[in-house]
Structure 1
């Protein structure tokens, strides 16, 4: 009986060891197989898309529940509830006028429809056009202040609030040179 107890204990310890060994390993690092490949970019962006959409959805719900004035004040607050890591909410009307931006308050009240992104695309125009359809994603190229102000690809997600205005947010998805512009 004593040998059976020891055997069971050894099996349990070994089983626990094997189970926890898999939990302490680092996940595999995925690197592009060829120069210019955007495998890593696509993987990184696809894992964050749901979080981005949920963040914008929560801001849209807040705007609808609390009204435009209160929502715009909250979206413009750099210490507010709609600034989470790299995610923050911006708001525009359909004429491209900035209504809220927590990190570029000097842009509030100005039209950005003709302002180009780092590759010359009219990113606010593209975001606005997507918002007219209700919601959707737009890729553009923007300076990432966290990475030494280098130009990176950014995936924006926008949502129409009503016929007057829309809001959005975005995630940086990697160096701009790994992405082919649409």
Structure 2
């Protein structure tokens, strides 16, 4: 009886810990965003993680429903529906060739695997490896076009479309935390 009570208390303690951890949703080394009411950076607010995931999910669904060619045209359109406030869709193949990037269109068609400036190559290598397994979050720093292209901490979220390519987007989480990967 005493052992059963002790086991129950241990399980209860673990359950309380998991509930508290789930409410906070902080992971070591990954900054989470502050939920925002309007999902834009106007007035200094930030987009929620849920909005980020839904945005990428919708882009993956669009790509699967409309095909790669039509999807890439939509993702590359700087005035299209896949740019919403701070959010925009970028696309890469698994060799780090940029397939879509409406903010940096000059990078489309460029293989960035070995790009050293801003650690872009290693970041894309890591993100591509994670994307092969489905979906992922990845902390980095990146220029924020909505804040005069200042470098800020960013949380990227990506998803595999198929065996050839993946999509991603990201939310800005605030001032740069030194020691985080930088990408441009």
TM-score norm. by structure 2 comes to 0.69
Per the alignment, in what secondary structure is the counterpart of residue 49 of structure 2?
helix
Looking at structure 2, the residues matched to 43 and 71 of structure 1 have their Cα atoms a distance apart, in angstroms, of 28
Looking at structure 2, the residues matched to 47 and 151 of structure 1 have their Cα atoms a distance apart, in angstroms, of 17
CA shift at 1:50, angstroms?
0.6
Query: Which structure 2 residues correspond to residues 51-70 of structure 1 after superposition, within 5 A?
Result: 51-70=51-70
Q: What CA RMSD, in Å, does the superposition of the two structures yield over aligned residues?
A: 2.4
1:25 counterpart residue number:
none
Per the alignment, in what secondary structure is the counterpart of residue 136 of structure 1?
strand
CA contact (8 A) 1:127 1:156 kept: no
Looking at structure 1, the residues matched to 140 and 146 of structure 2 have their Cα atoms a distance apart, in angstroms, of 17
* Structure 2 unaligned residues grouped into runs of 5+: 1-27, 36-45
* Structure 1 unaligned residues grouped into runs of 5+: 1-37
1:181 counterpart residue number:
180
CA shift at 1:43, angstroms?
5.2
CA contact (8 A) 1:90 1:168 kept: yes
CA shift at 1:180, angstroms?
5.0
Cα distance per residue 1:60-104 (max 9 Å; x no partner):
000000000000000000111111010010001111111111121
Which portions of structure 1, spanning 4 or more consecutive aligned residues, are displaced by more than 3 angstroms? Answer: 116-121, 179-182
> Which of the pair has more CA radius of gyration?
1
Per the alignment, in what secondary structure is the counterpart of residue 48 of structure 2?
helix
Query: Which structure 2 residues correspond to residues 59-138 of structure 1 after superposition, within 5 A?
Result: 59-116=59-116, 118=118, 122-138=122-138
How many residues of Structure 1 are paired with residues of Structure 2 in the alignment? 142
